[in-house]
């Protein structure tokens, strides 16, 4: 009998792509292959699940394809297969430029990818091969996006918004809980729109409420809420339901009204301030995470400073910045791009420097407090965990003093004894 082929899946880009990889692996986990995710070293078949969001992400994906094309030439890999957003957008051009790759598939053609591997694609099969530590998992509640943000190519790549039903998500979440998942991270291109395509109303609070009833699930975390139509019922739920993390990732992109209008964000400064005020009044200790886009065509120094001052005054607990990159097919692509790369990067750096000092101050206020911490992993000198105010990969971590009783995947009361800009230090009580 010939040995099983080893497939290594490599995920580039965001957690939504990670879920897609986990679902591909879930269906390939049928005894015909051995599987790994992001592992170094030789594989028979490498599947690259690429990202096509902005320039930096595209470059990272292309570098990765080139790396494995070279590995194939050197005989370390037999086949290189490319899927995901970048491949969806540019497969014809890329296939010509990188002939070493064996096959290119878009996000709309999972059956073609499975056909290439001589497997039958089962659209109803929700099996997941978890690549995260077994105590947390992402739950993708919808695909696609119906917004028309001028700078974003995602709706062109991923299509219109399609909510999954509450029932199917509860079934998936129960499976995850049965495998030991305690924290669910809800993701979609836009959480706030959940339900509108199904029943012309927001169903997000209903979904979160149902998920919180599942035994074993102890934290539910919300990522990628669009400010317009964010449901009030969810703010109430966050304040009252202890399983809903007092954490909200709400990308705002900018605060200047002229730019927000050009970005087609359906929100202005006044409505944003009202929303943030409402959330913070009802959930006083909420950790707000946001993302801003700098260097958008026409962004003046004055408009950037308005954003800078807004960040200084609002004091977001978590913040990310990305620089504008023109994407073919988007509305903003038609605008004259008048901000040079150096200026874009300087503005991004200025904002992140400001955020660093805000984060430092906020972290210092935690010293002396006792917080509930979920332990993610063990390192040589300490355990690493998170509070409900922190998401994996992107937010602060708590470095916990070693003691023999600590287990990965368990919650502990941890006294915070020290803090730096983006880290807390503590010991179990
Ligand atoms: S909400 Fe806007 S930025 Fe987010 S995926 Fe949709 S179009 Fe893109």
DSSP label at 330? S
What is the rounded distance in angstroms from the CA atom of residue 298 to the CA atom of residue 348? Answer: 16
pLDDT of residue 2: 65
What is the rounded distance in angstroms from the CA atom of residue 197 to the CA atom of residue 64? Answer: 36
- Average confidence (pLDDT) over 329-333: 95
What class has domain 370-428?
mainly beta
pLDDT of residue 65: 94
Res 82 pLDDT > 70: yes
3 vs 299, residue with greater confidence: 299
- The Å distance, Cα 155 to ligand 1 centre, comes to 7
pLDDT of residue 229: 86
- Average confidence (pLDDT) over 136-156: 95
Give the tens place of pLDDT for each residue, 338-365: 899 999 999 999 999 999 999 999 999 9
- The Å distance, Cα 144 to ligand 1 centre, comes to 9
Which pTM does this prediction carry?
Answer: 0.94
pLDDT of residue 213: 98
What is the rounded distance in angstroms from the CA atom of residue 230 to the CA atom of residue 222? Answer: 12
* CATH level 3 topology of 136-364: pyruvate-formate lyase- activating enzyme (3.80.30)
Band the pLDDT of 130: cuts 50, 70, 90: very high
What are the structure tokens assigned to 57, written together?
């992400």
pLDDT of residue 1: 56
- Average confidence (pLDDT) over 225-241: 95
Q: Average per-residue pLDDT in the chain? A: 95
- Residue whose C-alpha is closest to residue 392's, from 370, 371, 376, 408: 376
Question: Does any ligand 1 atom lie closer than 6 A to the CB of residue 227?
Answer: no
Helices 341-364 and 301-314: angle between axes, nearest 10 degrees: 10
pLDDT of residue 103: 95
Candidates 3.40.50.300, 3.40.50.12160, 3.30.43.10, 3.40.50.2300; CATH matching 5-116:
3.40.50.12160
CB burial class (10 A; 0-12, 13-18, 19+) of residue 285? exposed
pLDDT of residue 108: 80
pLDDT of residue 41: 64
Res 201 pLDDT > 90: yes
What are the structure tokens assigned to 86, written together?
């970048």
Q: Pick the range with the lowest mean pLDDT from 81-85, 108-112, 245-249, 401-405.
A: 108-112
What is the rounded distance in angstroms from the CA atom of residue 411 to the CA atom of residue 417? Answer: 18
Res 178 pLDDT > 60: yes
- The Å distance, Cα 146 to ligand 1 centre, comes to 8
- Average confidence (pLDDT) over 361-374: 98
Kindly report the number of other CB atoms within 10 A of residue 94's CB atom.
Answer: 19
- The Å distance, Cα 419 to ligand 1 centre, comes to 34
Domain spans of the chain, in order of start: 5-116, 136-364, 370-428
Res 123 pLDDT > 90: no
Question: Does any ligand 1 atom lie closer than 6 A to the CB of residue 144?
Answer: no
Give the tens place of pLDDT for each residue, 17-63: 999 999 999 999 998 999 999 767 678 999 999 998 888 889 999 99
Per the CB < 8 A criterion, the answer to whether 129 and 29 are in contact is yes
Res 310 pLDDT > 70: yes
Which ligand 1 atom is nearest residue 190's CA?
A: 1
- Residue whose C-alpha is closest to residue 214's, from 175, 185, 163, 165: 175
**Integer CA distances (angstroms), 379 to 31, 376, 383, 423, 426, in order:** 33, 10, 6, 15, 15
- Average confidence (pLDDT) over 152-175: 95
Per the CB < 8 A criterion, the answer to whether 221 and 234 are in contact is no
Which ligand 1 atom is nearest residue 146's CA?
A: 6
Which ligand 1 atom is nearest residue 155's CA?
A: 7
Give the tens place of pLDDT for each residue, 202-222: 999 999 999 999 999 999 999
Question: Does any ligand 1 atom lie closer than 6 A to the CB of residue 154?
Answer: yes
The residue whose CA has the least distance to atom 2 of ligand 1 is 149
Res 374 pLDDT > 80: yes
- Average confidence (pLDDT) over 69-81: 92
Is 181 strand, coil or helix?
A: coil
């Amino acid at each position: 009998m010939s040995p099983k082929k080893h497939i290594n899946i490599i995920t580039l880009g965001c957690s939504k792509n990670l879920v897609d990889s986990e679902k591909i692996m879930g269906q390939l986990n049928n005894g015909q292959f051995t599987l790994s995710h992001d592992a170094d070293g030789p594989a028979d078949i490498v599947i690259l699940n690429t990202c096509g969001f902005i320039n930096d992400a595209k470059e990272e994906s292309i570098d990765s394809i080139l790396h494995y094309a070279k590995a194939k030439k050197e005989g370390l890999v037999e086949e290189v297969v490319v899927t995901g957003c970048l491949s969806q957008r540019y497969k014809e051009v890329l296939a010509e430029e990188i002939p070493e790759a064996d096959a290119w598939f878009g996000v709309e053609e999972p059956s073609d990818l499975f056909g290439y591997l001589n497997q039958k694609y089962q659209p109803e099969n929700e099996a997941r091969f978890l690549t995260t530590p077994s105590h947390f998992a992402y739950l993708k509640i919808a695909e696609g996006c119906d917004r028309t943000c001028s700078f974003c190519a995602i709706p062109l790549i991923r299509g219109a918004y399609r909510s999954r039903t509450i029932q199917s998500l509860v079934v998936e979440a129960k499976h995850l809980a049965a495998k030991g998942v305690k924290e669910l991270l809800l993701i979609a291109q836009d959480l706030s729109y959940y339900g509108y395509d199904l029943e012309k109303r927001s169903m997000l609070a209903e979904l979160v409420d149902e998920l919180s009833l599942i035994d074993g699930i102890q934290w539910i975390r919300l990522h990628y809420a669009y400010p317009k139509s964010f449901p009030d019922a969810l703010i109430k739920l966050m304040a009252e339901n202890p399983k809903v993390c007092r954490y909200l990732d709400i990308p705002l992109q900018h605060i200047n009204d002229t730019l927000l209008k050009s970005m087609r964000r359906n929100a202005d400064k006044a409505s944003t301030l009202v929303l943030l005020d409402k959330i913070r009044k009802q959930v006083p200790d909420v950790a707000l995470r946001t993302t801003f886009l700098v260097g958008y065509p026409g962004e003046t120094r004055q408009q950037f400073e308005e954003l800078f001052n807004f960040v200084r005054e609002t004091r977001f607990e978590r913040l990310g910045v990305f620089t504008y990159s023109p994407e073919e097919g988007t509305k903003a692509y038609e605008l004259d791009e008048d901000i040079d790369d150096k200026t874009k990067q300087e503005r991004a750096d200025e904002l992140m420097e400001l955020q660093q000092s805000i984060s430092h101050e906020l972290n210092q206020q935690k010293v002396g407090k006792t917080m509930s911490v979920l332990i993610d992993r063990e390192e040589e000198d300490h355990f690493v965990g998170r509070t409900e105010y922190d998401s994996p990969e992107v937010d602060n971590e708590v470095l916990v003093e070693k003691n023999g009783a600590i287990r990965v995947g368990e919650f502990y009361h941890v006294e915070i004894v020290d803090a730096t800009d983006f880290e807390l230090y503590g010991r179990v009580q």
